[in-house]
Structure 1
Amino acid sequence: MTPPRPFRAAVTGLGLVTPAGVGVDENWKRVLSGVPAASADPELVGLPVDFSCRVPADFDPVAVLGRRTAWRLGRHVQLGMVAAREALGDSGLDPGSWDGARVGVVMGNSLGGTAAFEEQHRNLREKGASSVSSLLLPSYGVNMAAGYIAIDCGARGPNLAVSTACASGSTAVGVARDLLRNGTCDIVLAGGTEAAVSPSMIAGLAAAGALSRRCHDPATASRPFDAGRDGFVAGEGAGVLVLEREADARARGARVRGCVSGYGASADALHDTAPDPEGAGARTAVRAALADAGLSGSDIGHVNAHGTATRLGDVAEARAIRGAIGPAALVTSTKGVTGHCMGAAGAIEAVFTVLALESGLVPPTANLDRADPEIDCDLVRGTARAVTSGAALNNSFGFGGQNAVLVLTAA
Structure 2
Amino acid sequence: MDIAINTSQSPYQVDEKGYYGQFGGAYIPEMLYPNVEELREQYLQIMKDPAFQAEFEQLLKDYVGRPSPLYFATNLSRKYGAKIYLKREDLNHTGAHKINNTIGQILLAKRLGKKRIIAETGAGQHGVATATVCALMGLECLVYMGSIDIQRQAPNVARMKMLGATVIPATSGSRTLKDATNEAIRDWINNPVDTHYIIGSVVGPHPYPDMVARFQSVISEEIRAQLEEKTGKPTPDYVVACVGGGSNAAGAFFHFLDEKDVELVAVEAAGQGVHSGYSAATSQLGRPGVIHASKTLLMQTEDGQIVEPHSISAGLDYPGVGPMHANLYDSGRAIFLNATDEEALEAAYELTRLEGIIPALESAHALAKLKDLVLNADTTVVVCLSGRGDKDLETYIKHLK
| Higher-helix-fraction structure | 2
TM-score between the two structures when normalised by the length of structure 2: 0.29
Higher relative contact order (CA 8 A, sep 6+): 1
